[in-house]
Amino acid sequence: MAEQTTLDSLLEMGFDRNRAEKAVAHTGNQGIERAMDWLMEHEGDPDIDEPYVPPVGNVLGGSDPQLPSPAAQPTAEGADPDGGDQMIHDGDTKQPMTEEEKREQIKRLEDLMRVKQEERRERERAEEVDREKQRRRQGQELLQVKQKLQEDEMKKMVDLRQREKNDDKMAKQRVRDKIARDREERALKFGGGSSSRAVTSPSAEGPPSSPPSQGPPPAKKDYNECRIQVRMLDGSALTSVFKAQEPLAAVRVYIQMNGDAPEGQDFTLLSPYPRRVYTELDMEKPLQELGLVPSAVLVVAKK
């Protein structure tokens, strides 16, 4: 009878019969509150509205088939089957609720359901806030990683540019040293030399020696380098030599490191004759492809 009362209460509150029967069966008929909790927790289940099939021998509101029915119970000797024992049994039967009691119970259960629903909404809002915080935290971490990678790439480019400059400087110094040594040798050999040098006869000298070798003829310039002059915003100029295959971004990095522009100020580059403003796509192109080889003049302009 208690099981049937829970089911009836759920039906009077407006729950679907199929859902109400599932709630009563899955909670083991432990009260209306447990059944309502089960309904709210499983409200979004995909099979919540599938027909409920109770196990064999278990019918809501039915009696245990293993127990003998009251009619099969033996009566005491001399007892009237329609007499005193029937009165006692009827006295133990639970009286049905009045309409007023039903309304009060329904109101109490509706209030309880509203409280449960509000708690669930609060819990869902808190979970949504936590998910949003987690998403923002992950976004910030991803942005920091991306910025770190960009900074590392920029440092690598600057270091590579510095090493190339040092290598070029050392190579030019070696060339200057060799030229100086060649001049000294020619001066000693053809410029009269010192007075203590022994004078030899023409016969001892043998045939006149040929002039010292001046080295192989200079190779034809294939324009592997590019000389760039940059006019800054304040009228000053920067000049440097770049590889022909270096991107235009290398020139911008050089200006940022050696120019007097305020830190963080954005600028663009342009060629005066013919006038051309270089875009972000041009920054990835080699200087040779942009027609800046073997030399060019660039102008720094504010964006």
Is a pLDDT exceeding 60 seen at residue 205? no
Least confident of 116-125, 162-171, 243-252, 270-279: 116-125
Q: Which residue has the higher pLDDT, 36 or 64?
A: 36
Q: Cβ distance 303 to 268 under 8 Å?
A: yes
Token reading at 302: 């504010």
Six-digit token pair at 160?
């590579």
CA atoms within 13 A on the CB side of 67: 5
Stronger pLDDT, 176 or 192, i.e. the higher one: 176
What does the alpha-carbon distance between residue 11 and residue 25 come to, in Å, rounded to a whole number? 15
Give pLDDT, residue 285: 93
Highest mean pLDDT among 39-43, 82-86, 251-255: 251-255
pLDDT the model gives residue 220? 52
Cα–Cα distances (Å) from 110 to 29, 113, 121, 140, 282, in that order, read 19, 5, 16, 45, 69
pLDDT one-digit tens code per residue, 225-234: 999 999 998 8
Nearest residue to 28 (alpha-carbon basis) of 47, 9, 2, 48: 2
Burial class (CB in 10 A: 0-12, 13-18, 19+), 164: middle
**For range 37-48, the mean pLDDT:** 83
Distance CA 176, CA 195 (A): 29
| Of the listed ranges 89-93, 126-130, 229-233, 254-258, the one predicted with least confidence | 89-93
Q: Whose structure tokens read 């040092």?
A: 166
The whole-number pLDDT of residue 55 equals 67
- CA pair distance 49, 51, nearest whole angstrom: 6
Query: Does residue 214 carry a pLDDT above 50?
Result: yes
Spatial separation of the C-alpha atoms in residues 298 and 287, rounded to whole Å: 12
Which residue has tokens 């663009």?
Answer: 268
Higher-pLDDT residue of 95, 75: 95
Sheet of 276-277: strand order equals 237-243, 225-231, 295-302, 267-271, 276-277
Q: What is the pTM of this model?
A: 0.30
* Ranges 55-69, 146-160, 213-227: which has the least confidence: 55-69
pLDDT above 70 (res 71): no
**What are 126-161's pLDDT values in tens digits?**
999 999 999 999 999 999 999 999 999 999 999 999
**182-198 mean pLDDT:** 66
DSSP 58-85: --TTPPPTTSPPGGGSPPPTT--TTSHH
Structure tokens of 232?
A: 């800054």
* Beta strand 225-231 pairing with 295-302: parallel
For position 60, what pLDDT does the model report? 53
- The tokens for 228 are 């760039």
